[in-house]
């Protein structure tokens, strides 16, 4: 068993600060290359977007204004089926990947028209690889298993590029697979210093010190102060999302509905999701939950009598422009920062492309547009 | 429409809090999940009183006192909503959301008194999910509310005064009680003796305790129980138990479990008030100041929800909980507040001292608190002890991560049945002492609510 | 001893329909105690493993006693008072969205 409680020290090839989905994906990719890796995770009560997300693999709504981001998401989406299979085999836990596609619901004729124009424009920008098909009301109803659509639903669209995983199963599966391949996972380590001498970085926590020639900072909302330690300036702000989870019901939703609904394998339905700025407050509010429920029963009136079991909120780390950041420190080469808002969608790609970048220094051309250079003109934090 | 105070729960603490607040001229809204006032201790006490009158009988002294409080509560002029289920309480701004007659309402009071009492400590032992297994408290409630006794041969198992009381009441009502299996041993009573409120009482109480540990007419009385397993495939057929290293078995149709009661901290945890582990009562309880205010301003706790002291103490605690609220609202001067508080605190302390004996004498043994790997801990999601162990091996370093890995505590009961047991296993695996790990997070809705009800949540009074 | 909870002279009784059978209930009691007294055996099965479930705490906390009351799924039998002509079924399956949609 490689999991352990705080240890005093250790020497590795790579130390990853942050034990969420992003950090573990990088770690998993690295241990597959036979490297000695330590993932340092924080405390149980820390904000964790990895244990609070919708589990959507979203491609078709990514990068309308930033086609490289669309390409990044698309590549990851294509890598997902194999990645999911590999995790299942390696961990014995099925992450419940579904790659069938995703439905969009439009409310009112105007929204449907807008969606139509949006798709046309997206196709022009992204080329033949972009796929998203406009549907009329009856077609949407059929795709959603004839649960009955609200009067205002005017139609929608369907994209086969998208998918979903069970967020909790995926997290368990990834953590198990990482450790099964020899990765070290250490929790209860809040990193407060990262220092460097000629040969290595020393990552210090109140409970110990870990050294490696390379260090990756993937600590979500905790990134900014740590990045400063290695000479990088960036902003990450918390975006709060609230989600409603229902009782288990019969399997009815074959496809997730974009930004709104997904049924888990065991039958619970997740209804979401809000997007708010509330600082570091990760509590739910009746006001927002009520709006989520209102919008749900307006679109799918049969949800009206479904019981709600649980509501929760989580904080997602959001970069200034919402796009990912992959940056090596020029001041302290060997130190890397990875921050993104779509840890689930990009998981397969992170596993595949980031190890090479970290070990060989060359950023894949897909990652190239996502350095910190793009913020150069802006005021530092 | 606004309220100065919302009291959640209409048991002994909630009723007295409401009566006291109304006497000070505060506007009070009482929300209670039961159809009538009384809480679990005095459940359906008004009906019992009416029936006693009709039968020409009288209630015993404690019940008569409960009936009196209920009558004064009815006459106090507070707004009382029966069968109102609180599903959310939020801090800053203070907001209580509840379901009443099929509709959801939100209301923003100046202060909240949480008087949700206690629940029987869930202790998972093999077979505890079988039909035929209930809590001793459940059997008592059944007797109180419907006059019914469990069908068939009944065995009571566990520890605590309520277990003994239930045995006595069931026997009196004609139940076929075949066994009283107690984990309590003679040494527990002796260990607790110095904590008796007066040395004068000691011989009497000890003697009573001893008698209860021994055989009662017709009942198989067993003390110093070390382990137990409930037998049966589709329903209970018997109990296998270990005493003095030897295993024995008995046949029965019903098993009533009881291992004491613990504070119901659902609401105080939901608002994220600070909690502390009470090592003597083996439970979490909210941290409160002398005015029973939690770390969340204007959220007070009254009664057993702050630590178990029983119904009499709860009645006093209820009154204490509204003193500072009334003072802050300008309803009473500081001198009055302090004078009433002094008197009430004295009484409360005397009752609290008496409680120490119970806590020590009837402490559930460690062997029962640390569940077996093959037992279902989380009934809703059916998570076994060994699933918890596997999750810890995979890196679950606390209750929240454990939930994510295993779904334990994610089901309909909101973790109320399993969180103590899962935390005990987690603590053991991590080498932490009981009560060192942060409890799992509590999320709304605390009670079932449909999406349609949530969508049409109204402001109270609209 | 004067038992205030004496079973004789109880309030009037009524009948419920449980899984197609008529069972007797006492006014003022909950569905859970009526089912326990009727020797219902079990009141539902687990949505996870199919094991049999029955009322456990009678205080609304454990959710073991979930039943269908007049077509409404997942109701706590211990929190529902009996009413005339109630139809109770064991909670044996997952609620269906289609059925639920039609009820409202």
With an 8 Å Cβ cutoff, are C61 and B134 in contact? Answer: no
Of C68, C85, C66, nearest in space to C22 by CA: C85
State which H helix or E strand residue A15 sits in.
strand A14-17
Residues A72 and C32: their CA atoms lie apart, in Å, by 56
For an interface test with C, the pick among A141, A144, A250, A299 (most C C-beta atoms closer than 10 Å) comes out as A250
Q: How far is CA A126 from CA A70, A77, A112, A335, A344, in A?
A: 8, 15, 21, 33, 22
Is the Cα dihedral C47, C49, C51, C57 positive or negative? Answer: negative
Residues B304 and B311: their CA atoms lie apart, in Å, by 8
What domains appear along chain B, each with residue ranges and CATH number?
5-120+262-358 (3.50.50.60), 133-259 (3.50.50.60), 370-430 (1.10.10)
Q: What is the DSSP string of B40-84?
A: TTTTTHHHHHHHHHHTT----HHHHHHHHHHHHHHHT--EEETTE
Nearest to B138 among C4, C37, C57 (CB): C57
Please enumerate in sequence order all residues whose Cβ is within 8 A of that of B405, keeping only pairs 6 or more positions apart, or say none.
A168, A171, A172, B391, B394, B395, B396
Contacts of A309 in chain B (CB under 8 A): 410-412, 445, 448
Query: What region does A166 belong to: left with phi over 0, alpha with psi -120 to 50, or beta?
Result: beta
Of B354, B304, B292, nearest in space to B121 by CA: B304
ipTM of the complex model: 0.93
Contacts of A147 in chain C (CB under 8 A): 97-98, 101
Strands A184-186 and A193-196: unpaired
The mean pLDDT of chain A is 93
Question: Which of A153-157, B30-34, B361-365 shows the lowest mean pLDDT across its residues?
Answer: B361-365
For an interface test with A, the pick among B296, B415, B451, B459 (most A C-beta atoms closer than 10 Å) comes out as B451
Contacts of B97 in chain A (CB under 8 A): 286
- Looking from the CA of A82 toward its CB, the CA atoms found within 13 Å total 8
Q: What pLDDT, in 10s, does the model give residues B244-269?
A: 999 999 999 999 999 999 999 999 99
- Measured between CA atoms, how close is A340 to chain B, in angstroms? 21
Contacts of C30 in chain B (CB under 8 A): 145-146
For residue C103, pLDDT over 50 is answered with: no
SS3 assignment, position A243:
strand
For residue A203, pLDDT over 90 is answered with: yes
pLDDT confidence band for A49 (50 / 70 / 90): confident
pLDDT confidence band for B34 (50 / 70 / 90): very high
Domain ranges of chain A: 9-52+168-235+321-375, 102-159, 236-319
- Measured between CA atoms, how close is A274 to chain B, in angstroms? 15
- Measured between CA atoms, how close is A300 to chain C, in angstroms? 9
Please enumerate in sequence order all residues whose Cβ is within 8 A of that of C43, keeping only pairs 6 or more positions apart, or say none.
B131, C32, C35, C53, C54, C55, C65, C66, C67, C77, C90, C91
With an 8 Å Cβ cutoff, are B137 and C60 in contact? Answer: no
Contacts of C72 in chain A (CB under 8 A): 305
Residue A75 φ/ψ, nearest 5 degrees: -60, -45
Nearest to B394 among A3, A311, A312 (CB): A3
Lookup result for tokens 């990834």: A174
With an 8 Å Cβ cutoff, are C61 and B413 in contact? Answer: yes
With an 8 Å Cβ cutoff, are B400 and A51 in contact? Answer: yes
Of B251, B253, B293, nearest in space to B273 by CA: B293
Query: What region does B401 belong to: left with phi over 0, alpha with psi -120 to 50, or beta?
Result: alpha
With an 8 Å Cβ cutoff, are C96 and A250 in contact? Answer: yes
Nearest to C94 among A147, A267, A305 (CB): A267
Instruction: Please name the fold of domain A236-319.
Output: D-Amino Acid Oxidase; Chain A, domain 2 (3.30.9)
Q: How far is CA A369 from CA A224, A257, A324, B157, B420, in A?
A: 20, 30, 9, 68, 50
Nearest to B394 among A19, A172, A188 (CB): A172
Q: What pLDDT, in 10s, does the model give residues A78-89?
A: 999 999 999 999
For an interface test with C, the pick among B33, B70, B142 (most C C-beta atoms closer than 10 Å) comes out as B142
With an 8 Å Cβ cutoff, are C100 and A252 in contact? Answer: no
DSSP B106: E
Contact criterion met (CB below 8 Å) for C84 and C31: no
- Measured between CA atoms, how close is B152 to chain C, in angstroms? 10
DSSP E strand stretches across A175-222: 184-186, 193-196, 201-205, 208-212, 214-217
For residue A24, pLDDT over 90 is answered with: yes
With an 8 Å Cβ cutoff, are B451 and A308 in contact? Answer: yes
Please enumerate in sequence order all residues whose Cβ is within 8 A of that of B37, keeping only pairs 6 or more positions apart, or say none.
B10, B15, B45, B46, B70, B73, B74, B80, B82
- Measured between CA atoms, how close is B260 to chain A, in angstroms? 28
pLDDT confidence band for C5 (50 / 70 / 90): very low
Residues B96 and B29: their CA atoms lie apart, in Å, by 11
The tokens describing B329, both together, are: 């609202």
Q: What is the DSSP string of B83-103?
A: TEEEEEEETTTTEEEEEETTE
What domains appear along chain C, each with residue ranges and CATH number?
13-90 (3.10.20.440)
First to last CA, chain B: 8
Nearest to B59 among C4, C41, C76 (CB): C4
Instruction: Please name the fold of domain A9-52+168-235+321-375.
Output: FAD/NAD(P)-binding domain (3.50.50)
The tokens describing A257, both together, are: 């509905």
Contact criterion met (CB below 8 Å) for B371 and B424: yes
pTM of the model: 0.94
Contacts of A187 in chain B (CB under 8 A): 395, 397
Question: Which of A7-16, A91-100, B257-266 shows the lowest mean pLDDT across its residues?
Answer: A7-16
The mean pLDDT of chain C is 85
SS3 assignment, position B459:
strand
SS3 assignment, position A265:
coil
The tokens describing B118, both together, are: 């206690």
Q: What pLDDT, in 10s, does the model give residues B90-101?
A: 998 999 999 999
With an 8 Å Cβ cutoff, are A244 and B414 in contact? Answer: no
What's the whole-number mean pLDDT along residues B335-359? Answer: 92
Q: How far is CA B145 from CA A36, B48, B79, C67, in A?
A: 65, 8, 24, 20
Contacts of A43 in chain B (CB under 8 A): 397-398
Contact criterion met (CB below 8 Å) for A306 and A249: yes
For residue C11, pLDDT over 80 is answered with: no
Rounded (10°) CA dihedral C53, C57, C61, C65: 30
- C50 in contact with A, Cβ within 8 Å: no
For residue C2, pLDDT over 50 is answered with: no
Determine the pLDDT at residue B201. 61
Residues B40 and B12: their CA atoms lie apart, in Å, by 9
- B273 in contact with C, Cβ within 8 Å: no
With an 8 Å Cβ cutoff, are C42 and B235 in contact? Answer: yes
Residues B337 and B360: their CA atoms lie apart, in Å, by 34
- Measured between CA atoms, how close is A362 to chain B, in angstroms? 32
> Chains that contact A by 3+ CB pairs under 8 Å?
B, C
The tokens describing A274, both together, are: 């809000």
Q: Which residue of A has its CA nearest to B399?
A: A44
Residues B253 and A224: their CA atoms lie apart, in Å, by 63
Residues B432 and B428: their CA atoms lie apart, in Å, by 6
Share of chain A above pLDDT 70, in %: 97
Contact criterion met (CB below 8 Å) for B118 and B305: yes
Cα of B210 vs its chain's centroid, Å: 26
For residue C100, pLDDT over 70 is answered with: no
- Measured between CA atoms, how close is A169 to chain B, in angstroms? 7
Residue B161 φ/ψ, nearest 5 degrees: -60, -35
Q: What pLDDT, in 10s, does the model give residues A249-293?
A: 999 999 999 989 999 988 999 998 899 999 999 999 999 999 999
For an interface test with A, the pick among B102, B388, B391, B395 (most A C-beta atoms closer than 10 Å) comes out as B395
- A307 in contact with C, Cβ within 8 Å: yes
How many residues are given for chain A? Answer: 381
pLDDT confidence band for B55 (50 / 70 / 90): confident
Q: Which residue of C has its CA nearest to A145?
A: C98
Is the Cα dihedral B326, B328, B332, B338 positive or negative? Answer: positive
What's the whole-number mean pLDDT along residues B278-287? Answer: 95
Q: What pLDDT, in 10s, does the model give residues B71-123?
A: 999 999 999 999 999 999 999 899 999 999 999 999 999 999 999 999 999 99
Residue B43 φ/ψ, nearest 5 degrees: -60, 130
Higher pLDDT, A9 or C46: C46
**What are the start-end ranges of the H helices in A249-364?**
286-299, 347-360
**What are the start-end ranges of the H helices in B102-185?**
136-146, 161-172
Determine the pLDDT at residue C99. 55
Of B247, B331, B10, B282, nearest in space to B160 by CA: B282
SS3 assignment, position B403:
helix
Nearest to B147 among C7, C48, C64 (CB): C7
Q: Which residue of C has its CA nearest to A149?
A: C101
Residues B320 and B337: their CA atoms lie apart, in Å, by 9
Lookup result for tokens 């007049």: C70
Q: Which residue of C has its CA nearest to A297?
A: C101
Q: What pLDDT, in 10s, does the model give residues B385-442?
A: 999 999 999 988 899 889 999 999 999 999 999 999 999 999 998 888 888 888 888 9
Residue C59 φ/ψ, nearest 5 degrees: -120, 10
Strand partners, B7: B30, B113
With an 8 Å Cβ cutoff, are C10 and B59 in contact? Answer: no
Q: What pLDDT, in 10s, does the model give residues A345-374?
A: 999 999 999 999 999 988 999 999 999 999
B 53-72 near C (Cβ less than 8 A): 54-55, 57-60, 63
- A179 in contact with B, Cβ within 8 Å: yes
- C96 in contact with A, Cβ within 8 Å: yes
For an interface test with C, the pick among A146, A271, A307 (most C C-beta atoms closer than 10 Å) comes out as A307
The tokens describing B198, both together, are: 């007066």
Determine the pLDDT at residue C40. 87
A 244-273 near B (Cβ less than 8 A): 244, 246-247, 271
pLDDT confidence band for B43 (50 / 70 / 90): very high
Order across the sheet with B95-100: list the strands: B84-90, B95-100, B103-107, B458-459
With an 8 Å Cβ cutoff, are B173 and C5 in contact? Answer: yes
SS3 assignment, position A20:
coil
With an 8 Å Cβ cutoff, are A168 and B407 in contact? Answer: yes
Lookup result for tokens 């802006």: A378
Angle at which helices B45-54 and B61-75 cross, to 10°: 110
Nearest to C74 among A146, A301, A307 (CB): A307
């Amino acid at each position: 068993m490689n999991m352990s409680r705080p240890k005093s020290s250790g020497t590795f090839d790579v130390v990853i600060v942050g034990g969420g989905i992003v950090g573990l994906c990088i770690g998993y990719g690295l241990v597959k290359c036979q490297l000695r890796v330590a993932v340092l995770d924080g405390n149980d009560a820390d904000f964790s977007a990895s244990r609070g997300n919708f589990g959507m693999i979203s491609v078709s709504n990514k990068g309308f204004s930033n086609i490289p981001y669309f390409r990044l998401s698309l590549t990851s989406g294509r890598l997902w089926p194999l990645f999911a299979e590999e995790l299942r085999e390696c961990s014995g836990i099925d992450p419940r990947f579904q790659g069938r596609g995703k439905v969009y619901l439009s409310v009112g004729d105007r929204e449907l028209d807008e969606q139509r124009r949006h798709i046309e424009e997206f196709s022009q920008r992204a080329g033949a690889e972009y796929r998203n098909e406009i549907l009329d009301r009856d077609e949407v109803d059929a795709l959603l298993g004839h649960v009955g659509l609200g009067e205002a639903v005017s139609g929608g669209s369907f994209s086969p590029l998208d998918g979903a995983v069970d967020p909790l199963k995926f997290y368990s599966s990834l953590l198990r697979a990482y450790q099964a391949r020899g990765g070290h996972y250490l929790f209860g380590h809040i990193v407060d210093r990262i220092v460097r001498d000629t040969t290595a970085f020393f990552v210090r926590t109140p409970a110990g010190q870990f050294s490696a020639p390379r260090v990756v900072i993937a600590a979500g909302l905790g990134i900014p102060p740590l990045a400063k330690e290695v000479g990088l300036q960036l902003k990450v702000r918390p975006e709060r999302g609230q989600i409603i989870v229902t009782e288990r019901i019969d399997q009815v939703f074959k496809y997730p509905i974009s930004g709104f609904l997904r049924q888990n394998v065991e039958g619970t339905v997740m209804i979401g999701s809000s997007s708010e700025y509330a600082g570091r407050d990760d509590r739910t509010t009746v006001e927002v939950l009520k709006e989520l429920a209102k919008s749900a029963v307006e679109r799918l009136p049969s949800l009206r009598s479904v019981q709600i079991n649980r509501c929760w909120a989580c904080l997602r780390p959001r970069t200034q422009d919402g796009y990912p950041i992959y940056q090596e420190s020029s001041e302290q080469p060997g130190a890397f920062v990875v921050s993104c808002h779509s840890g689930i969608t990009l998981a397969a790609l992170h596993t595949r492309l980031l190890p090479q970048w970290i070990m060989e220094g060359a950023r894949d051309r897909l990652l190239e547009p996502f350095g910190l250079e793009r913020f150069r003109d802006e005021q530092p934090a | 429409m606004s309220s100065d105070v919302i009291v959640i729960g209409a048991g002994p603490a909630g009723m007295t809090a409401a009566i006291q607040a109304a006497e000070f001229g505060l506007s009070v809204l009482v929300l209670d999940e039961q159809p009538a006032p009384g809480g679990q201790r005095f459940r359906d006490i008004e009906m019992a009183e009416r029936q006693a009158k009709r039968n020409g009988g009288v209630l015993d002294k404690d019940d008569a006192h409960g009936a009196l409080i209920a009558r004064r509560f009815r006459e106090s002029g507070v707004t009382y909503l029966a069968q109102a289920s609180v599903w959310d309480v939020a801090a800053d701004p203070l907001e209580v959301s509840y379901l009443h007659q099929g509709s959801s309402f939100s209301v923003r009071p100046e202060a909240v008194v949480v008087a949700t009492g206690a629940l029987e400590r869930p202790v998972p032992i093999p077979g505890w999910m079988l039909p035929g297994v209930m809590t001793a408290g459940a059997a008592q409630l059944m007797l109180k509310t419907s006059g019914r006794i469990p069908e068939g041969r009944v065995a009571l198992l566990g520890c605590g005064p309520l277990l003994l009381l239930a045995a006595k009441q069931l026997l009196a009502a004609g139940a076929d009680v075949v066994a009283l299996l107690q984990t309590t041993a003679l040494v527990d009573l002796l260990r607790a003796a110095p904590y008796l409120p007066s040395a004068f009482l000691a011989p009497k109480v000890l003697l009573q305790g001893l008698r209860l540990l021994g055989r009662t007419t017709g009942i198989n009385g067993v003390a110093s129980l070390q382990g137990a397993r409930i037998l049966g495939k589709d329903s209970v057929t018997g109990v296998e138990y270990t005493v003095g290293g030897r295993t024995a078995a008995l046949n029965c149709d019903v098993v009533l479990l009881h291992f004491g009661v613990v504070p119901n901290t659902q609401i105080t945890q939901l608002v994220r008030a600070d909690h502390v582990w009470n090592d003597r009562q083996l439970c979490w309880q909210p941290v409160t100041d002398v005015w029973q205010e939690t770390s969340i301003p204007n959220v007070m706790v009254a009664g057993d929800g702050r630590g178990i002291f029983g119904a009499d103490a709860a009645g006093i605690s209820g009154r204490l909980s509204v003193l500072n609220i009334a003072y802050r609202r300008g309803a009473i001067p500081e001198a009055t507040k302090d004078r009433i508080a002094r008197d009430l605190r004295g009484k409360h302390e005397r009752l609290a001292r008496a409680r120490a004996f119970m806590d020590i004498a009837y402490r559930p043994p460690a062997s029962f608190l640390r569940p077996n790997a093959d037992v279902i801990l989380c009934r809703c999601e059916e998570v076994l002890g060994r699933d918890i162990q596997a999750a810890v091996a995979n890196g679950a370093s606390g209750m929240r991560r454990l939930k994510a890995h295993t779904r334990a505590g994610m089901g309909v009961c909101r973790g109320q049945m399993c969180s103590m047991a899962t935390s005990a296993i987690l603590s053991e695996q991590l080498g932490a002492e009981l009560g060192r790990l942060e409890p799992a997070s509590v999320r709304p809705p605390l009670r079932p609510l449909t999406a349609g009800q949530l969508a049409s949540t109204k402001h109270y009074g609209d | 001893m004067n038992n205030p909870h004496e079973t004789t002279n109880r309030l009037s009784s009524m009948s419920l329909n449980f899984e197609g059978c008529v069972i007797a209930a006492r006014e003022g009691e909950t569905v859970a105690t009526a089912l326990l007294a009727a020797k219902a055996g079990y009141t539902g099965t687990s949505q996870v493993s199919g094991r049999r479930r029955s009322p456990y705490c009678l205080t609304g906390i454990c959710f073991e006693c979930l039943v269908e009351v007049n077509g409404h799924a997942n109701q706590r039998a211990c929190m529902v008072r009996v009413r005339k002509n109630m139809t109770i079924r064991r909670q044996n399956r997952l609620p269906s969205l289609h059925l639920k949609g039609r009820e409202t």
